[in-house]
Amino acid sequence: MADKYYNNEIKQEKVLLVGVQTPQWTDFEFENLMQEMEALVNTAGAFLDRRMMQKLPKEDGRTLLGKGKVGEIQRIIKHRNIDLVVSLNPLKPVVHRNLEEAWDCRVIDRIQLILDIFALRAKSRAGKLQVELAQYQYLLPRIIGQGLELSRLGGGIGTRGPGETKLESDRRYLRTRMRKIEKDLSAIEAHRERTRLKRQQGNEFNIGLVGYTNAGKSTILTKLTQSDTLVQDKLFATLDPLTRSFAIRGFENFTLTDTVGFIEELPTKLIHAFKSTLEEISDVDLLLHVIDAGHPARFLHEQTVLSLLKDLKMDQIPQLVVYNKIDTLNEPFQPSLFPNVQISAYWEESIELLKEEIWQTCKSIAQPYRILIPADQAQKIYEYQQNTIVESIDFDQVKQNYIVTGFKK
């Protein structure tokens, strides 16, 4: 757990955040990532004592930072009684080992921190298995041949999920366990695939929510579907896929699925580790790309999501961009992605506007029809109402025909 118990009180782990800025990041991008790391530390339940940064032409291959900075941080850790050092930069096994030896302190990187939060958020069996598998995949090279002190993995941030007893097993057991998890996940995925196929064959328009973490996806799902779901102002509040039905213009032909939020500098393979969430929306009819309109790094967030959707081969799915949180803006908003709708998920009129935009977008990607039904075959109208969205029914008195118009998937 992230919290330690002392005299019956909960003591937060004290964290020192470290980041090395290389030429791959501008000053703005690097500062945004460091602020995001602060939010991740907070989400994991720790206390950020301070952060240390260094600008280098490239990362040091042995210790990430320069020798002088390593020594400076060592003194701070001792003086400030730091429990954990978290690195923005991914740590190779040898660098990870060298830093722990130099600082005599637990060290984790951004990926391990995110995995810890995933372990905290996972509720379903599939989600917990995905977290466990991803943690094994990440930790295995750090256990085998690296002399990692397993006793340090018994508690604290970056250790939720598998736990100490599993990590103390030998490599054969770890790999056997990983194969067992993969088999269980395959069985779960087969069941989900049958559920998805059944949903796709129905008359509902299936809509998926995607976006940068904390953009407001869960709030939008709650407001659109009038359902109770977790809404928190924290990163990765949603991990397990959640699908709800909702109606537009009285037609209950729409489903909405929330998914895990994307994040900058998150390896695609880590997203793939949680494909059970994303595969829920791999075959939807429409993606709602939710963006925090007031975030200073909005453009970076937009491009991160678009890039990951491309990596996941989901960029061909029709998108409606939803610029959320416009209530936080102090000046006129200039969108950069189209088509879009600009809303605040907390304004009722905005939710109605979003519903209308979803309706019009679904119409534009659907198959319209106009059919004549003889008066003596009026029962066919019911079939169309059950399997399509019927917009109008008129009757031609002269020809004794019903004129039915609407659209279908």
Q: Does 253 count as an annotated binding residue? A: no
Annotated binding-site residue? 216: yes
- 42 assigned binding-site residue: no
Whether residue 212 is annotated as binding a ligand: the answer is yes
The answer to whether 343 is annotated as binding is no
218 is in an annotated binding site: yes
The number of beta carbons lying within 10 Å of the beta carbon of residue 140 is 16
Task: Check the annotation: does 219 bind a ligand.
Answer: no
E strand segments, 274-388:
286-292, 319-324, 340-342, 367-374
**Residue 145 assigned ligand-binding role:** no
Residue 316 CB partners (closer than 8 Å, separation 6+) = none
- Residues 296, 297, 303, 304: is their CA dihedral positive or negative? negative
8 Å CB contact between 80 and 9? no
CB atoms within 10 A of CB 268: 12
The annotation status of 44 as a binding-site residue, yes or no, is: no
Query: Does the annotation flag 387 for ligand binding?
Result: no
Residue position matching structure tokens 């709650």: 222
Cα–chain center distance at 104: 33
* 285 appears as a binding residue in the annotation: no
For the chain, helix (H) and strand (E) counts, in that order, are 13, 15
39 in a labelled binding site? no
Give me the residue label for tokens 């579907």: 225
Distance of alpha carbon 120 from alpha carbon 349, whole angstroms: 35
14, with CB counted inside 10 A (0-12, 13-18, 19+), is: middle
- Known binder of ligand: residue 261? yes
Phi then psi for residue 338, to 5 deg, are -135, 155
Annotated ligand binding at 124? The verdict is no
388 is in an annotated binding site: no
Cβ pair 292, 333 in contact under 8 A: no
Can you tell me which residue has the tokens 């087969």?
Answer: 190
Instruction: Describe the strand order of the beta sheet including 251-258 as a list of residue ranges.
Output: 242-248, 251-258, 205-211, 286-292, 319-324, 340-342
Q: CA–CA separation, 183 vs 180, rounded Å? A: 5
Would you call the peptide bond into 162 cis, given omega within 30 degrees of 0 as the criterion? Answer: no
225 is in an annotated binding site: no
Distance CA 48, CA 37 (A): 10
Does 211 appear as a known binding residue? Answer: yes
* Angle in degrees, CA 217, 221, 225, rounded to 5: 170
- Tell me: is residue 345 an annotated ligand-binding position: yes
Residue 375, marked binder: no
Q: Is 404 within any annotated ligand binding site?
A: no
The string of DSSP letters for 236-256 reads T---S-EEEEEEETTEEEEEE
Q: Residues comprising the binding site for Mg(2+)?
A: 218, 238
Q: Residues comprising the binding site for GTP?
A: 211-218, 236-240, 258-261, 324-327, 344-346
Q: Residues comprising the binding site?
A: 211-218, 236-240, 258-261, 324-327, 344-346
